[in-house]
Structure 1
Amino acid sequence: MKLFQTTFNPRFIPTIRDWAQKTNLHGNSAIIHIYAPYTDKSIYYKLDRIQKILNIELPGVPIVGCSAIGEIINGSIDYNECVITLTVFDDTSTQVKVLSFYDLNKDFSQVFFDIIKEIPDLKGLEIVCANSDVMFDKASHTADSLPDNIEVFGAIAVGDDDNKPFIFTDDNDYHTEGVFLVLYSGKELHIQTNRMFGWKAIGYPLHVTRAEGNVVYELDGKPAYDVYSHYLNIKKGPNFFYDALEFPWEVQVNEETVYIRHAKSVNPDGSIVMSTNVPVGSNIRLTYGDPLRIMEHTKQAGQLIRDFAPQAITIYNCFGRKLFWGEQDNIEIVEISKHMDAAGFSALGEIMRFKGKTILNNLSIVTASMREGEKQELDHIEEVSNMASSSMPITARLAVFINTITEELMEKNNQLNDMLYKASHDALTDLLNRGAIERLIYETDNSKDWFLIMFDIDNFKNINDTYGHIEGDNALKNIANYIKEKIICNEGIECGRWGGEEFIMIISDRSSEYVKTNAEEMIKKVNNLLGIDYELTISAGATMHQKNETVLQTITRVDELLYKAKNNGKNQLCSDL
């Protein structure tokens, strides 16, 4: 495969004709990408001219493009020039297909899957969206349904309030909403995706307690702006964006989904407008941008790309990352594309599927490297290291010092939490142990009504004697799992193992009828637990704490009610409610 690159300049027509002469476009697939500077006031006129020329000189070759900034050509950032690339595939089995969708109200997944069923050897999916969360959500959901061996990559087109982001394909219309998808397939086609962050997390994790879309209102129940004012002394005002850009957030949704978001502005109520959505329930940590660390991360990713030996690289560089580097904004692009054919653009978000999840990244670089056939070794590059520890500024050393202390404290805190959990929970059932549930009962707020349900397994000794102690333990765990999944997940209800096969449950701020109904329902459900091949039943007692009695008297009464249920035939509730 070959990657041809040019800008829209006075020699554009001769250049395109030269491309046509050098390539066989009759038996081979090809695709044209156009990256258009979004601030150019005459951009639509230029694009019309470019596409007209391309359609004449390279007829039948699909065209896709978008608004951009910091267009990348020949492995370097260019400014305010339309970049045009032609990718030509040598292997006749390699095919390229373009799909475009512009209606926000329509689900295009079925159309997409009907098409890919007819495409053998699908290797990659490129996604480019105009600035629409709706379209990205639809495209990413569709992409996540693809097999794991298919690489997914792309970006969000660039724009602002005065110059709307746009995308376009062969229809020659410029769409400010929508998405285009490029499907790459072929037996000999190989695609590798990489992403580069390099931001270092600092401080303790904070929980996102209130957010809506890309507006975060609260972290740990406090105004989100406090994280910048309290820890970093970053003031509200016109410089907030640039000051906060050096301290983006690492957002952790779960163990496998982590990405970067940066703050754009602060609202009067202390909420923060972020670069892209931040989900409620996720955890965030502040990060800082140490140029040495970022470059080290980029060099490592660049080596992975070189090891892949690509014939062409598309680079999706974050606009915010470009701003972070300032006058050195070309440094990472040059590092990634050393002696390799690379083009692309700076975007408002970089798309890549990672561990089965298509993620919209910020402040990152995403690359899509392609080659046909077996890899050919690239020329060796002598590395000149400028990363010596002596070059580390004192601010970076202080950040390392603070971060190391924080991580050590977090580790100790996690160890302490683990010890406290083990001290308060029963090892077999993972319910509260006798001491913890008893403390909870004695500390209950007596200004509200509260109830106790005590229950135990009927004929538990017979289960142990007949089926063995392992099966007895299994019976206890099955009942405990049911309690955790169906009952104590509700607010105001706690349960613990009282001893042996006996359990106790405390329910606060409920009616007598609620307690009695749920106790009876629990007895019925235990009779039908899955994984039990013998008769398993429980007996239970239920009572309400009276205002004029001690907690011990309530516990004694519920214990008596339990044994009354057992003496009356078992598998039943005895209650004074």
Structure 2
Amino acid sequence: MLRQCINNRRKGYRTSRTGIEVKPVVSKTIVLKTLEHLNDSVNSNEITSLTKKASSVLIQLYIPETNPEWAMAIESILREQFPEAVIVGGSSMGGIAHGEIDVDAAVVAITFFDQTQVKGLIVDGAEATPADLGNTLQATINKTCQDVAGVMLLATTSNMDVAEFLTGFSNSPNTYPVFGGGTGDVTSIDEPLVFLDNQCLTSGVVAVVFMGTQIRIEAHTYLGWQALSKEMVVTEKDGLWVKKIDDKPAFEVYQHYLGIENDENFFFNAIEFPFLIKRNGIEYAKSPSEVNAENAIKFFADIKEGEAFRIGYGNPRVMIEQARAIQNRIDNFNPESIFLFSCVCRRFLLHDDINLETKPFEKIAPTFGFYTFGEIYGCADSVHILNSTMVAISMKEGLKSRERIIRDVETSLLDKPDPLANKHSRSISRLVNFIQAVTEELEETNEEARRLAERDYLTQAYNRVKVNEFMENEMKRSHRYGRKFSILILDMDLFKKVNDVHGHNVGDAVLSQLVRIIDREIRDSDILSRWGGEEFLVVMPETVINGAIVMAERIRKAVEQADFPQVFNQTCSLGVTTFRLGEHIEETIDRADRALYEAKRKGRNCVVAS
């Protein structure tokens, strides 16, 4: 199930002792044109010298197509020069070399460590469930690796449930960073490639474990996507497939709002428009990968039934601003090498302006990576598969802070005064801002319309339509889970006299004050509504009859003790009951009404339960 390769070279390795200088991490990036070019590059005097001095060597190889034979031909040349290196990689939607995209050539990134050890592990996606594979990989790391400083994962996200894999993997009490991305290319989305040394898989996960007391790794991520649509809810799903949204076929969302067709180009047309979901206050993007004949949509990452989302789109200005913030933090860290894992939809969105986001990283340290189908980010105890994000990893060796280098970092091209420069990015940013502003205005209007439709105009308590809807939902919960709920009906005593003596304006003021009094006494989970005239109904979830009587008595006393302007003292009568399984909600209301009538008959200003 699990195979491994560890770099055991000790030549040049020095144990960490006070006063021993730790040499910096050195990274070299090769944009591969031909195999002959690669052979000449890796046999240079500089590379040979670095290899002899290194304690370990990590080579990352990202190729622009799913071609195992080509990958292994490159690996063979690398293996001859670096017999003990860990060589990992996969297919990609474009490599990142020197901070810039390259979509046609393979990118080879060689990292030489002075004291850090690296270990490669590979798991076959066909040999067990994803969760079991993740659990096995984590167990192997815990058992065989010491002083783990971080783990890089490369996964075939399009044909295995990587979210489930990461659930199994996240069973460690450790908090070292875990990062990486999903592999794949344009022509073979469903047949991605990952490899470790001479082993290639079209379904599986490769891990690189960084070990040592001297290595320091920082992981950062940012999104840059903004919500465009109204809020919608996932109402039915099956694994990675979302079947229904707001109880309608899921694909209708993309067809209705974006005019995207259910055809072979769905992935390329829809990937720039992920679902934006908030979990624990953090916003995540979930990108679609395909649509089936039943109009269900498959996603690269997990989406939960019942989750609310909005369709999102990237704002280039926000992306660049967030990139700058991360670059400043990384610059302060003063790294020696930077790995980038950037979602392919960022490339689709920015087109020729894509380097605006990645090029400034190269000003800080040698920067390389690839465009992914999903990004992996988190700590060993909690790792997630993300979409549409950038994950930036900075690393260095040595615990002592070195003098920070003063760098000449270019101002973003978006800030340059040329009005024709980066017109694509500028136009998108302004269009996104416009759509967002219009959406917010519409939502404010819709929210006000909903509020007016649900509320009594005079008292601002809920109206009968809203409270009936609430009671129906409580009745369903009661039937399904056996949960109790109670209601009370309140009527102001002798209220006709208030209107006759003081006028309807004073009567209206009394009712409005009454609502404020009741609001102070009931719980946040309770619902207050104006039932009609001077009658009000309160629904109390998770409440049995004794609790309902206590609540009613509290309201009665509060009303009795209140000072109503012009009227001074006022009292109320209340009828209380609890919903009984098997009855209709109208029966419950009738029973509360009869209890209220009994309270009136007893002399008013009292509570009667039925």
Fold equivalence (TM over 0.5) = yes
Deviations 1:286-327, CA, capped at 9 Å, x for gaps: 223333333333333333332322211111122232223334
Q: 1:553 aligns with which of 594, 605, 609?
A: 594
Number of the residue aligned with 2:565: none
Q: Which runs of 5+ in 1 are unaligned?
A: 424-432, 457-475, 481-486, 513-542, 561-573
Deviation at 1:341, TM superposition (A): 0.7
Deviations 1:97-126, CA, capped at 9 Å, x for gaps: 222222223445256336425644322111
Deviations 1:137-165, CA, capped at 9 Å, x for gaps: 35422553445741111011114558721
Partners of 2:355 and 2:587 in 1: CA distance = 72
Deviation at 1:135, TM superposition (A): 5.7
Partners of 2:300 and 2:390 in 1: CA distance = 15
Partners of 1:257 and 1:236 in 2: CA distance = 31
Deviations 1:447-479, CA, capped at 9 Å, x for gaps: x999998799xxxxxxxxxxxxxxxxxxx99x9
Partners of 2:267 and 2:160 in 1: CA distance = 25
Q: 1:30 aligns with which of 34, 52, 57?
A: 57
Number of the residue aligned with 1:200: 226
Q: 1:216 aligns with which of 230, 239, 242?
A: 242
Superposition map of 1:74-473 within 5 A: 74-90=98-114, 92=115, 94-102=116-124, 103-105=127-129, 106-107=132-133, 109=135, 112-113=138-139, 115-116=141-142, 119-131=145-157, 134=160, 136-146=162-172, 149-159=175-185, 161=188, 164-170=191-197, 172-237=198-263, 240-252=266-278, 254-267=279-292, 269-338=294-363, 340-353=365-378, 357-373=382-398, 374-375=401-402, 376-383=404-411, 386-387=414-415, 396-397=429-430, 399-404=432-437, 406-407=439-440, 410=443
Partners of 1:442 and 1:247 in 2: CA distance = 34
Query: In structure 1, what residue type is equivalent to 2:407?
Result: D
What SS is found at the alignment partner of 1:251? strand
Query: In structure 1, what residue type is equivalent to 2:148?
Result: L
What SS is found at the alignment partner of 1:165? coil
Residue identity over aligned pairs, in percent, reads 23
Moved more, 207-216 or 20-29: 20-29
Query: In structure 2, what residue type is equivalent to 1:65?
Result: G
Partners of 2:36 and 2:332 in 1: CA distance = 37
Alpha-carbon contact 1:434-1:498 (below 8 Å) kept:
no
Deviation at 1:184, TM superposition (A): 1.2
Deviation at 1:349, TM superposition (A): 1.4
Alpha-carbon contact 1:452-1:504 (below 8 Å) kept:
no
Q: Sort the Cα spacing of 1:113 and 1:205 in 2 relative to 1 into closer, same or farther, 3 A.
A: same
Number of the residue aligned with 1:49: 73
Partners of 1:26 and 1:189 in 2: CA distance = 17
Q: Sort the Cα spacing of 1:498 and 1:162 in 2 relative to 1 into closer, same or farther, 3 A.
A: closer
Partners of 1:227 and 1:107 in 2: CA distance = 34
Query: In structure 2, what residue type is equivalent to 1:294?
Result: M
Partners of 2:466 and 2:485 in 1: CA distance = 13
Partners of 2:179 and 2:465 in 1: CA distance = 51
Number of the residue aligned with 2:570: none
Moved more, 257-266 or 369-378: 257-266
Alpha-carbon contact 1:212-1:279 (below 8 Å) kept:
no
Alpha-carbon contact 1:104-1:134 (below 8 Å) kept:
no
Number of the residue aligned with 2:93: 69
What SS is found at the alignment partner of 2:35? coil
Q: Sort the Cα spacing of 1:310 and 1:416 in 2 relative to 1 into closer, same or farther, 3 A.
A: farther
Deviation at 1:346, TM superposition (A): 1.7
Partners of 1:148 and 1:219 in 2: CA distance = 38
Alpha-carbon contact 1:264-1:272 (below 8 Å) kept:
yes
Q: Sort the Cα spacing of 1:266 and 1:101 in 2 relative to 1 into closer, same or farther, 3 A.
A: closer
Question: Cα RMSD over matched residues?
Answer: 4.9
Alpha-carbon contact 1:302-1:337 (below 8 Å) kept:
no
Deviation at 1:67, TM superposition (A): 2.0
Q: Sort the Cα spacing of 1:503 and 1:360 in 2 relative to 1 into closer, same or farther, 3 A.
A: farther
Q: Sort the Cα spacing of 1:435 and 1:318 in 2 relative to 1 into closer, same or farther, 3 A.
A: closer
What SS is found at the alignment partner of 2:437? helix
Alpha-carbon contact 1:71-1:345 (below 8 Å) kept:
yes
Matched residues, number: 488
Deviation at 1:2, TM superposition (A): 0.7
Query: In structure 2, what residue type is equivalent to 1:97?
Result: K
Moved more, 59-68 or 49-58: 49-58
Alpha-carbon contact 2:138-2:172 (below 8 Å) kept:
no
Partners of 1:162 and 1:434 in 2: CA distance = 52
Q: Sort the Cα spacing of 1:503 and 1:111 in 2 relative to 1 into closer, same or farther, 3 A.
A: farther
